Amino acid sequence: KKIDGRPGADSKSLDFDKIEEELKNKFGDDIIRKCDVISYVMFPKVLEEYIDFKKQYGPVDLYPTRIFFVGPELNEMIE
């Protein structure tokens, strides 16, 4: 199907402030960042799963990739 004009031009407008407030009410003020609001708009289920994971395991986004996926070596310190 041919698209005339800019893709997304006919999409509904979003109230990001309202979405942010809803997310803060659901997950807590201290967890939700502006980038989380954008992520939620594009991938709502993925963000909800990520927030639940982060609540359970802490700020895992700060770990180096290898540590997160493989784990540390024996006696390795993580900063």
Q: What residues contact 67, with CB distance under 8 A and at least 6 apart?
A: 78
Q: What is the DSSP string of the chain?
A: ----SSTTTTSPP--HHHHHHHHHHHH-TTT--HHHHHHHHH-HHHHHHHHHHHHHH--GGGS-HHHHHT-PPTT----
Give residue limits of the domains in the chain.
16-69
Q: What is the pTM of this model?
A: 0.69
Phi and psi, residue 7, nearest 5°: -60, 135
Q: What is the pLDDT of residue 39?
A: 96
CATH T-level assignment (fold) for domain 16-69: Arc Repressor Mutant, subunit A (1.10.10)
**Cβ atoms of residues 78 and 72 within 8 Å:** yes
The predicted-structure confidence for 29-61, as pLDDT tens digits, reads as follows 888 999 999 999 999 999 999 999 988 988 888
